[in-house]
Amino acid sequence: MLKIVYCGGCNPHIDREGLAAELESDESLRTLDMEVHISGCQRSCGSGQQLVLDTPGTLVVAGEHLDGTPVAAAELAARIRDKLRSEKE
């Protein structure tokens, strides 16, 4: 089951809930045993202020960054999907 972990939402630069809803609506991702930590800004509170976690199957979104790499907000969902699918293999 795909698990979503949120930050507190005090300074969102992205739509955290919208991003999570987009991921959760993807049937192919629901059965994955992985986590996505979604923080609204680069402080990355949802992942304990870490931009990258060494835990296999765990991705970190910190504002417009995915695992420490800049990604435009409009591209986040697609890049997360691709990364989750590639880590599954």
Q: Domain with 56 in it: what CATH number?
A: 3.30.413
Distance CA 9, CA 51 (A): 16
Q: What angle do CA 86, 45, 59 make, to 5 degrees?
A: 5
The predicted structure's pLDDT at residue 86? 87
Task: Give residue 43's domain range.
Answer: 3-88
pTM of the model: 0.93
Q: State how many domains the chain has.
A: 1
The pLDDT tens digits for 63-81 are 999 999 999 999 999 999 9
Name the 3-class secondary structure at 39.
strand
The pLDDT tens digits for 7-65 are 999 999 999 999 999 999 999 898 899 999 999 999 999 999 999 999 989 999 999 99
